[in-house]
Structures are given as structure tokens and as C-alpha cells.
Amino acid sequence: MSNWIDIAALDDVPQRGARLVKTLHGCVAVFRTAGDEVFALDNACPHKNGPLADGIVHGKAVTCPLHNWVISLETGQAQGADEGQVTTYPAKISEGRIMLDADFLQQRSVA
């Protein structure tokens, strides 16, 4: 069963942008695409922990600001020739609000 918690208004994150959610075990980046989808990923690039929230969002991917790895927002996987995986968390929009699944975030702290 999922335990959705209300994080913020969708409009608090710019289109093709990201903001951070702080948790006890580090930051989760919440992305918003041009098509108003939201995705939540660890804010750490699999290459050298670059802050993904500071990257450029295009389509359903983000380019890491440090060395331009392109990470899929949907799967968390590095695209192209690069190999690596970022943890993703369930996220959705409900009536203009961004919701994250608290249980998943919690599992993250246990893991």
C-alpha cells in the first residue's frame, strides 16, 4: 500500500526544472518536465555524485551538470555509452500537488 504525502504545489518546481527534498538520508531531487510529469530520484549522479537537480532537463531525461552524463528520469539509468543507475522513487501529481510515497522514502533510509 502506498502512503502518498503532499510535498508542494506543482508550480513550485519550474517546468524543465528540479527542486530538492531533504530527507534524513540525503537529498531527493524532484523533477518536473515540460509536459508536467514529475519524477523523484536520488540527487546523486552515478558517475561522481553530481547534483542532478542542477542539470538541464530535456524530454524525460536530465543531463548531469558535472560531466554531462544523461540520466533517464523514468528508470534512473544512464543513457548512451555510460553505465550506472540512480535510485528512483514513486512520485505523482494529484490536483496540482506533488506527491511522494513516504514508505519508499523510508525504505531508502533502512537500506
Partner 1 sequence: MTQKLVVIGAGMASGRVLEHLFEAEAGFDVTLFNAEERGNYNRIMLSPVLSGEKTYEDIVTHDAEWYEANNVTCHFGTHVTAIDRAAKTVTSTKGTVAYDKLLIATGSAPFIIPVEGKDLPGVITYRDLDDTNAMIEASKSGGKAVVIGGGLLGLEAAAGLAERGMDVTVLHLMGHLMERQLDEAAGFLLRRDLEKRGITVKCRASTAAILGTDRVEGVLLEDNEGLEADLVVMAVGIRPETRLATDAGLEVARGIEVGAQLQTSDPDIFAVGECVEFDGQLFGLVAPLYDQAKVLANTLMDVPAVFTPKELSTKLKVTGCDLFSAGDFASGEGREDIVFRDPARGVYRRLVIEDDVIVGAVMYGDTADGNWFFGLIRDKTDISEMRDTVIFGPAYQGGAPSDPLSAVAALPRDAEICGCNGICKGEIEDAIAAGATDIGALRSQTKASASCGTCTGLVEQVLAVTLGDDFVLPTAQPICGCTEMTHEDVRRMIKSQELKSLPAVWQACDWKTPCGCHVCRPALNYYLLSDWPLDYEDDPQSRFVNERKHANIQKDGTFSVVPRMWGGITTPDELRAIADAADKFAVPTVKVTGGQRIDLLGVKNEDLPAIWDDLNKAGMVSGHAYSKGLRTVKTCVGTDHCRFGTQDSTGLGIQLEKALWGSWTPHKLKLAVSGCPRNCAEATCKDIGIVCVDSGYQISIGGAAGMDVRETSLLCQVPTEKEVMDVVKAVTQSYRENAKYLDRIYKWMDKVGLEWIQEQITDLDTRAALVERFDLSQTIYRKDPWAQHVAKPDPYEPLATLTLEAAE
List of residues contacting partner 1 (CB under 8 A)? 5, 7-8, 12-17, 19-25, 27, 30, 34-37, 39, 48-51, 54-60, 63, 65-66, 68, 70, 74, 92-93, 98, 102, 105-106, 109
Residue 8 three-state SS: strand
Q: How far is the CB of 19 from partner 1 (least distance, A)?
A: 4
CA atoms of 2 and 10, how far apart (whole Å): 20
Least distance to partner 1 from the beta carbon of 86, Å? 14
Q: Which residues bind ligand FES (CB under 6 A)?
A: 45, 47-50, 64, 66-69
